[in-house]
Amino acid sequence: MEGKAEFPNLLAGIKVLDFSHVQSGPTCTAMLADMGAEVVKIEPFAGDQFRQPMEGANFFNFNRNKRGVALNLKTKDGKEIVLKLAKEADVLLENFVPGAMDRLGLGYEALSRLNPGIVYCSISGFGQSGPFRDRPAYEPVLQAMSGIMDSTGEPDRPPVRIRPAMIDYCTGANSAFAIAAALFAREKTGRGQRIDVALLDVALFSMSPYVTQFIRRGELPERAGSAQPSGGAIQNFETRDGLIYVVAGTDHMWKNLCNALNLPEVGNDPQYATRQQRAERRVKIAEIINNETRKYTSQELETKLLAADVACGKVRNIGEIVQESHVQTRGILEEVDYPTLGKIVAVKTPLFFSGKSAPFRRRAPMLGENTGEVLKELGYSDQEIQDLIKKGVALQYEP
């Protein structure tokens, strides 16, 4: 995988220390690594807690293109190694509970004195300030607290979580953007930045329209299953073999949908003439449309509606979408070899530059796989490295 140099490595030469674990932080640093940054992931001897679940599927996807070092940060020598790394680093990212890095002597104030140009990014559940500051948090907790869960699901059923960790993904992307902006500013000022990114803030940002509407009118978002309450014919419809999602929100698409389903009289009915009218009658509309869509297979209906310029997509599972020729053509999937599992398929960062996507230059590291290599680059001799390993300061992966 080494040597895939055709991709424009826009962050080449940028050195990143990654103290993050689980998903939001690793997503951020994976994106930076994909753009060419040199990322060193620092783990405790127990390893990132996402090395085990789903056979490590999370870990493989969000720790690619990084080198891995395992250190005991509770030792004086372990902290000394980190300080040497930080002195040369451009970026440090961590996602511990606020104050944890300060207690280790590795907080922003300490490291910015050592390296004034460092961009220090902290991801946490609730931010570095506020009454919730010290609370631990994971993605589902933030979905529950932010109103996302309360607005998701069927109206007559309890709230449900969104299955993908969308807050983590969005937090990682926001953090990567903030770091890139801080590096850009550093070119002018020579100074780094202290970046504070909170999962709750990101979750509320995603709920912005609903926050605005509630504060303005006291209206909570309606739990409506697959439907969009602000319009009719925007939901899943039934077919002979599954479901198809249709978005016929505009007047034009509404008429196109009705014509495609041989319902011109419904499309021209004045009681459905506007989006607001269709929203008010969406349950009745769903009944009318479902009576027609059940006559087709989902693939037949998708083809028919797309030909009529109606936005739609059959509800596919993971197995179906990854086999689609479009996904294969885009090249967003890449197969890599992993020592303990053999060949695995992972998803690349969804960004294309000059028609090229970021390759997997490195698979995700085994725990402590690059410890000796990184320590040698810091000036430690082979004997000193072995002594650090024997003293329980560092851990080196051995195949």
Q: What is the mean pLDDT of residues 93-104?
A: 96
The pTM score is 0.93
Total Cβ atoms within 10 A of residue 288: 18
Give the pLDDT score at 353: 92
Residue in 168, 196, 241, 251 annotated catalytic: 168
Give the pLDDT score at 51: 94
* Eight-class DSSP state of 82: H
Model confidence pLDDT, tens digit, residues 154-204: 999 999 999 999 999 999 999 999 999 999 999 999 999 999 999 999 999
Q: Give the span between the Cα atoms of 399 and 136, in whole angstroms.
A: 35
Task: Give the domain 15-206+332-395 fold.
Answer: Rossmann fold (3.40.50)
Q: What is the mean pLDDT of residues 213-218?
A: 97
Model confidence pLDDT, tens digit, residues 340-385: 889 999 999 999 998 988 988 999 999 999 999 999 999 999 999 9
* pLDDT band for position 2 (cuts 50, 70, 90): very low
What residue ranges do the domains of the chain occupy? 15-206+332-395, 234-321
CA triple 357-358-362, angle to 5 deg: 150
Lowest mean pLDDT among 2-16, 175-189, 232-246, 301-315: 2-16
Give the pLDDT score at 160: 97
Give the E-state strand segments of the chain in sequence order: 15-18, 38-43, 66-71, 91-94, 119-124, 194-198, 234-238, 243-247, 311-314, 333-338, 342-347, 352-353, 356-357, 394-395
Q: What is the mean pLDDT of residues 85-97?
A: 97
Model confidence pLDDT, tens digit, residues 251-301: 999 999 999 999 999 999 999 999 999 999 999 999 999 999 999 999 999
User: Percent of the chain scored above 70 by pLDDT?
Assistant: 99
CATH architecture for segment(s) 234-321: 2-Layer Sandwich (3.30)
Q: Give the span between the Cα atoms of 60 and 51, in whole angstroms.
A: 8
Active site residue 168: yes
Q: What is the mean pLDDT of residues 51-77?
A: 95
Give the pLDDT score at 5: 53
Q: Which residues pair with 335 in a beta bridge?
A: 345
CA triple 154-303-282, angle to 5 deg: 30
The residue assigned the tokens 């309606």 is 222
Model confidence pLDDT, tens digit, residues 329-343: 999 999 999 898 899
Model confidence pLDDT, tens digit, residues 4-27: 557 888 999 999 999 999 999 999
The residue assigned the tokens 């826009």 is 10
Amino acid at 348: K
Amino acid at 202: V
Model confidence pLDDT, tens digit, residues 182-193: 999 999 999 999
Q: Give the span between the Cα atoms of 198 and 205, in whole angstroms.
A: 11
Contacts 24+ apart (CB under 8 A), 375-380: 375/69, 375/81, 378/81, 378/84, 378/85, 379/84
Lowest mean pLDDT among 109-113, 158-162, 229-233: 229-233
Closest CA to 21 of 70, 87, 82: 70
Amino acid at 369: E
- State how beta strands 38-43 and 15-18 pair: parallel
* pLDDT band for position 3 (cuts 50, 70, 90): very low
Q: Give the span between the Cα atoms of 50 and 57, in whole angstroms.
A: 8
The answer to whether residue 69 scores a pLDDT higher than 90 is yes
* pLDDT band for position 316 (cuts 50, 70, 90): very high
Q: What is the mean pLDDT of the chain?
A: 95
